[in-house]
Structure 1
Amino acid sequence: MPGAEAAQPSAADISKPPCTCVIAHVQNGEERAHVQAGLDHALKNNDAHAVLVACLQLMQPCPARDELVAR
């Protein structure tokens, strides 16, 4: 399918493990904007399930995205 080629991952993407959580979390600013737009749309249309999923994607900590900090 033309135009569906996968982009080559950057060096920063290769060094981080992929997200393996049940709910896929946002990994960059573009994904965050897309999920935020979906959340805004779900709130506008009173779609409780979509609101729940978008909130989980935006707020739950992800071991692939968030670095663990030793305390």
Structure 2
Amino acid sequence: MSGAEAEQPSAAEEAAKRPCACVIAHVQNDEERARAQAALDNALKTNDAHAVFIACLQLMQPCPARDEVTR
């Protein structure tokens, strides 16, 4: 039964199946990372401390949907 083997899903496909359910939504792809980085850059230019805090949380915090737990 060599033709009946199922392919294992890639890490990106697995992450897409598990959307972020955190209070602060983390970036899930490169497009979202670019938007969050642009928001952080803008917040730093305008001295918006709250927006800096939120953008940093979006960019840096580990996310169970995105980051695989290692044991």
Range of TM-score over shorter length: 0.7 to 0.9
CA root-mean-square deviation: 1.2
5+ residue gaps in structure 1?
1-10
TM-score (norm 2): 0.77
Number of residue equivalences: 58
Q: Give secondary structure in 2 for the equivalent of 1:62.
A: coil
Structure 2 distance, partners of 1:33, 1:20, is: 20
Q: How much has 1:27 moved relative to structure 2? A: 0.3
TM-score (norm 1): 0.77
User: After TM superposition, where is structure 1 displaced by more than 2 Å over at least 4 residues in a row?
Assistant: none
**Pairing of 1:51-66 with structure 2 (within 5 A):** 51-66=52-67
Which has the larger helix fraction? 2
5+ residue gaps in structure 2?
1-11
**Pairing of 1:1-71 with structure 2 (within 5 A):** 12=13, 13-14=16-17, 17-70=18-71
Paired AA for residue 33 in structure 1: A
Q: How much has 1:69 moved relative to structure 2? A: 1.0
